Amino acid sequence: MLGKVVGAVTSGDWGHRVGKNLAYAFVDPDLSEPGSTLAIDMLGDLILAKVIATGPYDPEHERVRA
């Protein structure tokens, strides 16, 4: 499916509390299975991204204390 637009990133940044780059996006539901790999076009460069099950969350703030 290379070259086909299947969604749109709405925002992205470094997740300090979870230690990952995060991108929030609307993606075709058929391609949004957790673990799937998609390519994001970032100013003409394709960057690989992995779909995760839910938004990363650190309710105990363990990463901040590490």
* Burial class of 4 by CB neighbour count within 10 A (0 to 12, 13 to 18, 19+): exposed
Instruction: Residue 48: name the closest of 30, 32, 36 by CA.
Output: 36
The span from the CA of 54 to the CA of 19, in Å, is 15
27 versus 2: the higher-pLDDT residue is 27
Question: Is residue 27 very low, low, confident or very high in pLDDT (cuts 50, 70, 90)?
Answer: confident
What's the whole-model pTM score?
0.64
